[in-house]
Amino acid sequence: MVALRKIVVMLSVMGSLGLSVPAAAQLYSDGYEFLQAVEEKDSTKVTELLDVPGSTVVNARDVSTGRSALHIVVARRDVTWINFLYQQGANVNIRDNNGVTPLMLAVQLGHLEGVQALVANGARVDVTNNSGETPLMTAVHSRNTELMRILLQAGADPDRYDNSGRSARDYARLRGENDITNDTLNRYARPPAERETTGTSYGPR
């Protein structure tokens, strides 16, 4: 019953986009099959679905979680598939239902190679989740200075605020002025003009 309701909701959304019910059903079906194939590392099925003229399944999202194929392969720390999906047109900044991008997920997992691959493929380093948290803030919370360095050198803004009004720099200072996260921020942060967002505020200060 739950699955049926999801299908009905999906068809309703597709209808609002001007797609016929058969076209909407086919798109939903192909997207589901694609995500399943990625989950199962079924490269033959994945290629078959990607090769359909006009296919957009590379950016299909799970109806219940919003996870995309990139989220799936990041979760299993699979750099080969990250690069493959990017080459097939995957949106590296796609968000799940919590606003989590593949880059944010890779940082949460401490997946260094995944973060490097996503940044190299154009992932925006200051895209936030639904709480306004940036990947850099996540790296500060986990005291992962190597991930902090990569993000900062890619233009991450240590002065961008989350929904509580704190920045990555604020969170580092809460650990004490002598904490290694402060030294990393001071050493690797790019000048404000070279950052991605330059201190955008998402909440009260």
Is 12 part of any domain?
Answer: yes
Q: How many distinct structural domains can be found in the chain? A: 2
Structural domain for 48, as ranges: 1-95
Is 101 part of any domain?
Answer: no
71 and 3 both lie in a single domain: yes
pLDDT tens digits, residue range 28-51?
Answer: 589 999 999 999 999 999 999 999
Is 110 part of any domain?
Answer: no
Is 156 part of any domain?
Answer: yes
Give the residues across from 161 on adjacent strands: 167
The structure's pTM equals 0.83
Is 104 part of any domain?
Answer: no
Give the residues across from 128 on adjacent strands: none
Q: Is the pLDDT of residue 22 over 50?
A: no
132 and 46 both lie in a single domain: no
Is 112 part of any domain?
Answer: no
pLDDT tens digits, residue range 77-117?
Answer: 999 999 999 999 999 999 999 999 999 999 999 999 999 99
Where is the domain boundary, 95, 111, 143? 95
What CATH number corresponds to the domain at position 48? 1.25.40.20
User: How far apart (Å, rounded) are the C-alpha atoms in residues 154 and 151?
Assistant: 5
